[in-house]
Amino acid sequence: MIPKTKDLWVFIETEADGTARNVGIELLGPGRTIADKQGGKLTAVVIGYEADAAVKEADAHGADAIIVVDAPEYKRFTTDAYTKALVTLVEKYGPTSLLIGATPNGRDFAPRVSCRLKTGLTADCTGLDVDEETGNVLWTRPTFGGNLMAQIQCPDHRPQMGTVRPGVFKKAEPVEGHAEIIREDLRVSPEDIRTRVMEVIREADSGKVDLESAEIIVAGGRGVGGPDGFRLIRELADVLGGQVGASRPAVDSGWIPHAHQVGQTGKTVGPKLYIACGISGAIQHTAGIAGSETVIAINSDPDAPIFSVADYGIVGDLFEVIPAMIREIRARKQQEEAEGDQTGKKTASDVPAWVNSEIPVCHIDLTPPKHASQKFSKDLAAFKRRYEAYIRDDFVVSITDNAMAKMAFQGTELIDALGLTVKPENITIHLNTFHQKAELDRILSDMRRLGLKNLLCITGDGSDKMHKLLPEELEAPEAPVATSVELIRYIRRHYPEFRIGCAFNNYEPPESEFAKLERKLEAGASYIITQPVLGKDEQIDRLVREYPDVPVVTEVWMSPKLSLLSDIMEREIPDDYPYDPFETLKEVKKNYPASANYLGMLSYKNQYPELKEMWGKE
C-alpha cells in the first residue's frame, strides 16, 4: 500500500465497559517520539462500544487526532469485526506506521490486518526507534528463545506494523487534550462475524495476577528451592501490597503458574519496586524488568548477573533475609498505625470518599435479578433503571450479593453486561461467603478492572444448599469455617487497595457482637454498616462511643412490610405497628447526625421521589 500520510497510528484496545487498556495508552509515548521523527501526526484509533472514556484518555495522553469507531458489534472483541474496521480505516487514511499492543486480542488480529494490507508485521516487540534517514521504524524483539535481541526493519512495504508488549513503556504524564476527534460509521453485519463469544472463563489463578500494572513485584527464581519457597515470596509481597512474580526456571519447574512469569517469554513489567529473590539474572529476565524504577536483588552468589542491573543488592540466604525484611516492614506498619491512632487520623485510602462528605451520604441497596427469576428481562430492566437513577442523583448504590440466600447475578457482571456508568465512589459491592473460589477471584479482579474500591464483606448464612468458601481457600486452614473475618483478611492480602466495610448486628447479644466486630476491624475492615435502626438504639450509641474514628453507616428499613424486619430483629412486630419509614429516617438522622444512612428495601416508584426531595436532589 502506498502511504497517504506520514502519520503514526496507535490502536487503543478497549474493555467491554469502554475504557482503554493500559498498553494502548502506554504506546502513545513512543508513538509521539516516532511520529515527530517521521514528520507526521500521532493518531489514536479507538474501536469499541460507548468508548468515550477511552477517547478521553487518549486525548489526555498526547494524541493529535483520534479516529473513533463506536458500535454495539465492537463491544466484545471479534477477529472479523475488528480486522474489517481497522483495514478499512488504514486503506482510507494511509498511515505510514501502526502500533498495536501485544495482548491476546492484538496478537490475534494484527497478523490478519497485515496480510490484508500486504505488509509485514514485527511481533512481540520490546523496543522501538526510527532510522531518521529512511523513516523506517526499528523494531527490537527477542529471538532464539529470548537469548538474543533482533532489530528488524520493513523498508519496502507500508504501513510498517508491529505489536508491542504491555508494560514495556510507561504511560506519559497527562496533558491538556487538544485532539481532533474523527468519528467513522463502520458497521459490520452479523453475517460477516463468523465467531461469537459465548462465555468468558477466567483461569482460576490469573484473576489475581496483574503484573503489568503492579507497582510492587516480589519475584522468586530457582533459588527459592521449590513450591514451598514461594510461600515466603508471597508473604513478602502481601506485606508490601504487591504481586508475586517468577523467573522462567521456576515456572518451567512447575513451582508456580505461568501467569506469574516475568521476562522475555513472560510478562514485561515496569513496577516502582521489583525485588528479585534467588534469581540469577539471565538476559531474558533482566530485559523483562528493564522498566522497573527500583530493583532490589537478594542472592547468595555475589557474582550473580542480577546485581549488575540492581539498584540495591543483598548478598545472603533469602530464607534469612526475607523473614527479617517482613518483620521490619510489619514493625514499621504497626508503628505507623499506632501513631495514626494517637492522632485520630485516617489516610485517604482507609475509608471511602463519602465518609468525608459535608452532607451525610445516603446508600441505597439494590438487589440484582435472581438466577431463577421467571421475569428476568423485566427484572434486568428495573435494575438498570434504578442503578442509573441512583448514580445520576449522586447516591451510593449498594449492590447486594445473593440476598436472602437466593442465587443472584453479581454486581460486577451486571455492570459489565449492561454497560452501566461507573462512578467508583458511588458504588459499593456486597460480597458474602456463598461463592466458589474461582468466582470470588473473578469478582475481585473485575472490581479492580472497573476501578471499584468499596466492598461490604458479610458472612453468608441461612442456606445449606449454596456452596460456601472453605477456610483453606481463603488461606486460613486453621479456621473452623470461613467467615467475613477470613474473607476480609484474604482481600486485604491480595487486593490492598480495596476499602472494606463490615456488618454490625445491633440485635445480637452485645458482648459477642462487639467481639466479632473487633476481629473484623483487626482483619482490615475500615467502616461499619449496621442492621436497621428504629430511632434510638443502645448498641449504636455504644458503637459510636467506643469507635469514634470508625465511620458508621446506620441502616433504615424503608419497606412498610415488617415481616422481614421482624426476622432480622428476631422479635415479633405486630401487623398494626405504626411504622413510618421516612419519619424513622428523620429520627435516625437526628440521633446520629455524623453517620451516613443505608436504606434497605426502598420502593423506587413510591418512595424514591420523596427521598430525592428530602436530600435536595430535585
Q: How confident is the model at residue 43 (pLDDT cuts 50, 70, 90)?
A: very high
The DSSP 8-state label assigned to residue 600 in this structure reads: E
Position 410 in a domain: yes
Amino acid at 600: G
Is the pLDDT confidence value at 444 over 70? Answer: yes
pLDDT digits (tens, 9 = 90+) for 208-217: 577 887 889 9
| More confident of the two residues 597 and 535 | 597
Amino acid at 515: A
The CATH number covering residue 297 comes to: 3.40.50.1220
Position 217 in a domain: yes
Position 2 in a domain: no
Average pLDDT over residues 518-523: 92
Does residue 102 contact residue 123 with C-beta atoms inside 8 Å? yes
In DSSP notation, 84-143 reads HHHHHHHHHH--SEEEEE-SHHHHHHHHHHHHHHT--EEEEESEEEE-TTT--EEEEEEE
Distance CA 238, CA 236 (A): 5
Final residue of a structural domain among 139, 163, 192: 192
Is the pLDDT confidence value at 356 over 70? Answer: no
Position 3 in a domain: no
Is the pLDDT confidence value at 253 over 60? Answer: yes
Closest by Cα among 196, 20, 219, 366 to 12 = 20
Q: What separation in angstroms does the CA of 313 have from each of 218, 282, 610?
A: 14, 16, 64
Task: Give the pLDDT confidence score for residue 605 in this predicted structure.
Answer: 93
In DSSP notation, 366-431 reads EPPPBTT-SSHHHHHHHHHHHHHHHHHTTPEEEE-SSGGG--B--HHHHHHHHT----GGGEEEEE
Distance CA 11, CA 39 (A): 19
Helix (H, G, I), strand (E, B) or coil at 357: coil
Q: Which single residue is written with the C-alpha cell 463502520?
A: 186
Same domain for 525 and 427? yes
The CATH number covering residue 26 comes to: 3.40.50.620
Strands (E) across 154-256 are located at 160-164, 180-183, 216-220, 243-246
Closest by Cα among 103, 93, 94, 117 to 23 = 103
Same domain for 496 and 540? yes
Same domain for 186 and 57? yes
Same domain for 554 and 425? yes
Task: Give the pLDDT confidence score for residue 346 in this predicted structure.
Answer: 47
Average pLDDT over residues 564-585: 80
- Could you tell me how far CA 28 lies from the centroid of its own chain? 22
Same domain for 438 and 316? no
φ, ψ (nearest 5 deg) of residue 65 = -145, 150
Same domain for 360 and 275? no
Helix (H, G, I), strand (E, B) or coil at 267: strand
| More confident of the two residues 331 and 593 | 593
Task: Give the pLDDT confidence score for residue 455 in this predicted structure.
Answer: 95
The CATH number covering residue 430 comes to: 3.20.20.220
Closest by Cα among 510, 511, 522, 461 to 486 = 522
Same domain for 574 and 472? yes
The DSSP 8-state label assigned to residue 5 in this structure reads: -
pLDDT digits (tens, 9 = 90+) for 16-28: 778 898 899 999 9
Same domain for 423 and 301? no
**What average pLDDT does the chain have?**
87
Helix (H, G, I), strand (E, B) or coil at 251: helix
Position 198 in a domain: no
Helix axes 376-392 and 411-418, enclosed angle (nearest 10)? 90
Task: Give the pLDDT confidence score for residue 351 in this predicted structure.
Answer: 64
Position 56 in a domain: yes
Distance CA 269, CA 545 (A): 47
pLDDT digits (tens, 9 = 90+) for 112-151: 999 999 999 999 888 898 888 888 999 988 776 555 678 8
Q: Up-side HSE of residue 382: CA atoms within 13 Å toward CB?
A: 14
Average pLDDT over residues 89-110: 93
Cite the DSSP H helix spans in 125-247.
229-240
Is the pLDDT confidence value at 348 over 50? Answer: no
**Total domain count, the chain:** 3
How much of the chain, in percent, has pLDDT values that exceed 90?
Answer: 55
Is the pLDDT confidence value at 338 over 80? Answer: no
Task: Give the pLDDT confidence score for residue 195 in this predicted structure.
Answer: 85
Distance CA 459, CA 252 (A): 39
Average pLDDT over residues 262-277: 89
Q: Residue 37 is part of which domain span?
A: 8-192
Final residue of a structural domain among 161, 192, 223: 192
Task: Give the pLDDT confidence score for residue 494 in this predicted structure.
Answer: 86
Predicted TM-score (pTM) of the model is: 0.50
Distance CA 456, CA 448 (A): 15
Final residue of a structural domain among 343, 373, 404: 343
Position 197 in a domain: no
Average pLDDT over residues 296-324: 94
Same domain for 398 and 292? no
Is the pLDDT confidence value at 343 over 50? Answer: no
Is the pLDDT confidence value at 462 over 60? Answer: no
Q: Which single residue is written with the C-alpha cell 492484538?
A: 106
Distance CA 46, CA 473 (A): 40
Distance CA 401, CA 460 (A): 9
Cell of 545: 462511643
Same domain for 422 and 306? no
Contacts of 576 (CB under 8 A, 6+ apart): none
Position 348 in a domain: no
Same domain for 357 and 337? no
Distance CA 199, CA 190 (A): 18
Same domain for 573 and 430? yes
Distance CA 254, CA 403 (A): 40
